[in-house]
Amino acid sequence: MTTLDPIASLSLPGAGVPPRRVLPKAVSPSPSRQTARSGLGPYGLFVISWLAPVALVAVWEVLARAGWISPQVLPAPSKVLTTAWKLTLNGSLLLDLGTSLLRAAVGFAIGGGIGFALGTLVGFSRLAEAAIDRSVQMIRAIPFLALLPLVIVWFGVGESQKIFLVALGVAFPIYINTVLGIRQVDPKLVELGRVRNLGPIQLIRRIILPGALPSILTGVRYALATAWLALVVAETIGAQSGLGFLAMDAREFLRTDVIVLAIVLYALIGIAADSIARHLERSLLAWHPNYGDRR
Amino acid sequence: MSRAPAGSAVAVPAFSRPAVVVTDLTRAYGTRVVIDGLNLVIERGEFVALLGESGCGKTTLLRALAGLDPVDHGRIDAPGEAAVVFQEHRLLPWDSLWRNVALGLPDQGARERAAAALSEVGLGHRLDDWPRNLSGGQAQRVALARALVQEPELLLLDEPFAALDALTRIRMHGLVKELVARHRPGVLLVTHDVDEAISLADRVLVMRAGIIAAEHRLDGSGDRAALRLRLLAELGVHAESEPA
């Protein structure tokens, strides 16, 4: 990102996920010609960037309380908060949240494991590529959510249906990025490994996997987003527990406060998952000029 | 190709056997013969520079000696370990300097050996640093430490100074001379640089059309300026007499 680009220099903290290769420096407010011209300085712009969403929520609150927005359409933010508190006290919120997180975790582990195993196989072996890759790419061409009706026929609407859908969504990004990562390892470094008489296991452990890791972690970040999306869809279609069930159940009673709460929780967990993935990148890729904090 | 295992020459003390013996080596890419029945012996402790125009086969020879390329015909007997320093440093960016140097060593005592080797190249204080924080010259010094930590009997240098600036290159020459004198491997330095060859080597070879076309020993008494012109002529450069 060039600092001469006025839009780039005004990019606001918290304004969505910044592009991967942007250094942390470029995201945090820093003095530059453009900010000086606005007469506010970087700190002022930073405050505004947070003031705007806060004001939006405040306006929403006022309108809801004044009765301009019917609670059946959109409940006041304060109402959502008190509902969250009540549901936490009676334990049902944590139970649903835990159920959803467990489904996501199990699906992620299964799908990620399969994607990684196939990706490693195909990355190393041209024979495996010939045997596997085309089929995988064909299945990948299907938007995986389109499989939902079929998945319900196979598994019903139980736990397996949800875990299967999450695993399906996770497997492809991990598979593709693992293959890509392994193929992109610098052949000169592999040659170095041969000069040093590394055995195949040492070669993989010391050179190929570390070289493929940036790409694999990119896959993990994509996969986290897909996993979450798959879960939302699966839980919304049919569930007896979980956040999606919470929302769909509330719909029957027109409890929009609970629905909004479920939506907000989905968003928060999505953000948390992404920041965990980014933290993972920063700590595992500390050596990498585009990720590490050290200089 | 036959690379004799290290234990096969037990009767011969390590200091007296050559670092490498190349007999009638031939290597072709398709119908193009790159190395054509080449013979070469490098003794331990001997510094040999190999000059030649681009595409004359000198890098092919080095890769064959390193065991990176197959041999079509002939023999390479390198009884001991061979180490290579490439033109690029080829450090693993995800490993600290000491782990780079220790690559392929047995785990036991690896850090100590790597630390000793890094100290020898003046980087003993940066064991845990990342390669990305190094200058080109420093990175190449780490590559040198990585090669020498194996205590190789044959050290293969593939234009290792070509990408460095002139001053760094001169410092590296001094360092390499010193390290080779201490560890006494047989050295084959592939280079384009006639002056580099003259200043470092005991013996300068000129490769042309897949064979060693000319050979000069430097015993310290000869006229270096004259040798320089002669080598340039053998490389097809007919320069006016000029100060070296």
Residue in chain B closest to A213 (alpha carbons) equals B94
ipTM for this prediction: 0.84
Structure tokens at A187: 């052949």
The stretches of A142-255 forming alpha helices (DSSP H) are: 148-155, 159-183, 187-195, 200-203, 209-237, 243-252
Smallest Cβ–Cβ distance between A210 and the set B68, B94, B133 belongs to B94
Q: Which residues lie below 8 Å from residue A113, measured CB to CB, with a gap of 6+?
A: none
* Burial label, A101 (beta-carbon count in 10 A; 0-12, 13-18, 19+): middle
Smallest Cβ–Cβ distance between B68 and the set A191, A210, A213 belongs to A191
Closest listed residue to residue A43, CA positions, set A53, A54, A29:
A29
Residue in chain A closest to B133 (alpha carbons) equals A295
In order of A129, A184, A223, A253, the CA distances from A123 in angstroms are 7, 10, 19, 52
Smallest Cβ–Cβ distance between B93 and the set A193, A195, A288 belongs to A288
Residue in chain A closest to B130 (alpha carbons) equals A287
Using DSSP bridges, classify how beta strands B203-208 and B73-77 pair: parallel, antiparallel or unpaired: unpaired
* Burial label, B23 (beta-carbon count in 10 A; 0-12, 13-18, 19+): middle
- What's the CA gap between B119 and A89, in Å, rounded? 63
b/e per residue, B25-47, with b = 16+ CB within 10 A? bbbeeeeeebbeebebebbbbbb
Cα–chain-centroid distance for residue A235?
A: 18
Q: How many other CB atoms sit within 10 Å of the CB of residue A139? A: 13
Q: Which residues lie below 8 Å from residue B201, measured CB to CB, with a gap of 6+?
A: B47, B48, B49, B189, B218
Question: Is a pLDDT exceeding 70 seen at residue A294?
Answer: no
Cα–chain-centroid distance for residue A143?
A: 18
pLDDT, tens only, A18-75: 444 444 444 444 444 454 566 778 888 888 888 999 999 999 999 998 988 888 888 9
Q: Which of A107-111, A164-168, A184-188, A240-244 has the lowest mean pLDDT?
A: A240-244
Chain A residues near residue B132 by CB distance under 8 angstroms: 287, 289
Element (H, E) at A88: helix A77-89
Find out whether A235 and A242 touch, Cβ atoms under 8 Å. yes
Q: What are phi and psi of B143, to 5 degrees?
A: -60, -40
Smallest Cβ–Cβ distance between B132 and the set A193, A213, A289 belongs to A289
Q: Please tell me the predicted confidence (pLDDT) of residue A39.
A: 73
Mean pLDDT, residues A109-132: 94
A50 three-class SS: helix
Q: Which residues lie below 8 Å from residue A67, measured CB to CB, with a gap of 6+?
A: none
Find tokens 């990175």 and name the residue: B139
Instruction: Round the average pLDDT of chain A to a whole number and report it.
Output: 84
- What's the CA gap between A181 and A218, in Å, rounded? 10
Cβ–Cβ below 8 Å for B95 and A192: no
* Burial label, B227 (beta-carbon count in 10 A; 0-12, 13-18, 19+): middle
State the pTM of this model. Answer: 0.75
* Burial label, A117 (beta-carbon count in 10 A; 0-12, 13-18, 19+): middle
Taking the CA of residue B11 and the nearest CA in chain A, the distance in Å comes to 25
Sites in chain B below the pLDDT cut of 50: 1-12, 244
Cα–chain-centroid distance for residue B225?
A: 24
pLDDT, tens only, A121-173: 999 889 999 999 999 999 989 988 888 889 989 988 888 999 999 999 999 99
Q: Please tell me the predicted confidence (pLDDT) of residue B218.
A: 86
Q: What is the dihedral of CA A13, A17, A21, A26, to 10 degrees?
A: -10
